[in-house]
Structure 1
C-alpha cells in the first residue's frame, strides 16, 4: 500500500484526488483508492492520508530511462499505450480531464510472470490532483509544460482532446526517449509572452525507425488542431493498439482511416493496408486535380479466390465489386483520409 499525506490545512489537492478516484472507481487501468484517514503527528499536527495501491514496478518514466537507449520496444509501447487509453476512456466517460498525463504519473503494477521468469506489468494512471470537469475553465493552464497541448498554452483551454495530446507525447517518449517538443535553451514556461509566441518551442517531428502504424497513431494524437485529434474510444480501434476481433455473418465493418497516412484494420489486415496505402497515392494526386478516371481490370481477391468483376475510380472514389461472391468494398479517398466500408455477405463465420 502507498500513502499520500499532507497537513490537513494543505490537503486540498490530495482530498480532491481522493474525491475523483472515488467517483471514477472500478477501472483496472487507474490506480485504486483504498481509503483515507486522518492522523496526528507527535507535534499535534493533523495529517490527511490518502491510501492507494502500491505500484512495485515504479513509474513509466523510470522504465524509459532504465531501458536500453532510453526507449522501449514497440511491442511494449503498444501494450502500455492500450492500458493508458483504456484508463483515459474511463476518465472521459465521467466527464473529467486529467490535465497532467505524463510518464511520471503512469504507474506499473505486476500482472503475470512470463515464461522466461520475468514479470509482466500493466500501466495505470495516477495523480488526479489537477483533474477537472470538462467544462470547468481556469485562468491558467494546469499540468507539466512538456506535455501540454498548444491550445492549453495559447488559450488556457484544456478539454478531453488535451489529454489525447498528452498521450501522444507519452507514446513519442516511449518510442524515442525524447519529448516531441524540445525546449530551446532559456525557455521559461512561466514567461507568458514566451508561451504565447512559441518562440522557445520547436514543432514536433515524427521519429524515424518506427512502424507506419505507430507514426499514424502519433499523428492522430499530436494534431495541432484539437478537433482533428481522435477520441480515446476511436484510438482504441487503431491497429497500433487494437485487439483482434472475429467477423460475423452479415457484419458490416466501417473503419475510419484518419490523418495523413490512413490506416486499415479488421479483416482486410495489415497486408492489404500497406497495398492500399501505396496504390492510393497516384489516385489521390489525380483526384486532387479533379481528374475522373474509370478503370476496369481483373484482380484476384486473396481472401475469396474469385476475380473482381469491376473496378471503378471516379473523383477520389474506388468501388470494387465481386459479383460472384457478393462482395462490395467501397473506398473514398480524400485529402488526409481514407474511409473503407467492407460489406461481406457470407454463410459461415470466419
Structure 2
C-alpha cells in the first residue's frame, strides 16, 4: 500500500478489509477458500486456496470454446456457488470467465470478491432486498440494471452467469464484437435484445442463456 499518502492507504486498507471480512464467512466447495492475512510494514498479503487449473477464460484462450457437455458441468457448479452466495445474502457482482477457476479434478471455484457485497435481505425471496446502486463489474457481463444504476440485487448475478455460459460456448461474451462503451449502451437500452446461442447448441442450452439474459419488469 502507498505509505506516502495516509488517506489513500486507509481507504485501500478498508476496501481490502471488507473483502477479507466477507471471504472469512464463505465456506463452499465452489468458492475459493480464504486462508489468512499478513500485514508487514505497508504490505498486506491475502492468502487464498491455490487453484492451479487457471481460469475458464484462459482455458478458452488456449484451447477454444468448450463443448456443451463440459460447459454444462461447469455451469452447474457455478450455479451452486452462486446459490450459496445468494442464500448467505452475498451478491458477487463480477461473474465472468476470468473469475471462474478450475481445479485439476474438474471442480470449479468462484474467485475475486473485490466487487462483492452483502445484502441485508428482509426475506430470502429477495422481494424486500436491499438494492445496490453503483456500477461494478465488467461491461460485457453487466446486467442492464447495473449499467443504468437503477438498483439491483441477486438477479444481476444471474445475468452475468448467462453471459459466462455464452462465453464458454462461443469463446466470447455476448456483444464482444462491439466496443465496450457501445456494448454498455446496448445492454442498458430497454429494447436491446441479447444474442442467442448459435443453432449448433441444444435447445436446453439456448433456453437457459435466453432465460438468464431476459429483462424483467422489476429491473
TM bucket, shorter chain: 0.7 to 0.9
Structure 1 match to 2:200:
209
Residue matched to 1:281: none
The unaligned stretches of length 5 or more in structure 2 are 3-8, 120-128
Contact persistence 1:32–1:53 (CA under 8 A): yes
Of structures 1 and 2, the one with the larger relative CO (CA 8 A, separation 6+) is 2
- Give yes or no for the alignment of 1:99 onto 2:93: yes
Distance 1:183 1:136 in 2: 34
The alpha carbon displacement at 1:23 in A equals 1.5
Deviation at residue 208 of structure 1 after TM alignment: 1.7
Mapped partners of 1:202, 1:110: distance in 2? 37
Alignment partners' CA distance in 1, 2:136 and 2:150: 8
| More strand per residue | 1
Distance 1:189 1:216, change over 3 A: closer
Shift of 1:185: 4.2
1:4-29 deviations in Å (ceiling 9; x for gaps): xx5553233322221111122x2010
C-alpha displacement at 1:136, in angstroms? Answer: 4.5
- Give the structure 1 partner of residue 55 of structure 2: 59
Aligned match for 2:21, one of 7, 19, 29: 19
Distance 2:176 2:209 in 1: 16
Q: 1:182 to 1:224 in 2, by over 3 A?
A: farther
Partners of 1:180 and 1:189 in 2: CA distance: 9
| Unpaired runs of at least 5, structure 1 | 1-5, 41-45, 112-120, 229-350
Map 1:1-350 to 2 at 5 A.
6=1, 9=10, 10-24=12-26, 26-40=27-41, 46-67=42-63, 70-111=64-105, 121-134=106-119, 135-182=129-176, 184-185=178-179, 187=181, 194=185, 198=189, 203-225=194-216
Q: Deviations over 1:188-236 (max 9, x none)?
A: 678xxx479649x7632332200111112112211122769xxxxxxxx
Q: Secondary structure at the match of 2:181?
A: coil
Structure-2-length-normalised TM-score: 0.82
After TM superposition, give the deviation of residue 183 of structure 1 in Å: 5.2
More helix by share: 2
* Distance in 2 between residues matched to 1:196 and 1:203, nearest whole Å: 8
Q: Distance in 2 between matches of 1:226 and 1:76?
A: 33
Number of aligned positions between the proteins: 202
**C-alpha displacement of 1:110:** 2.0
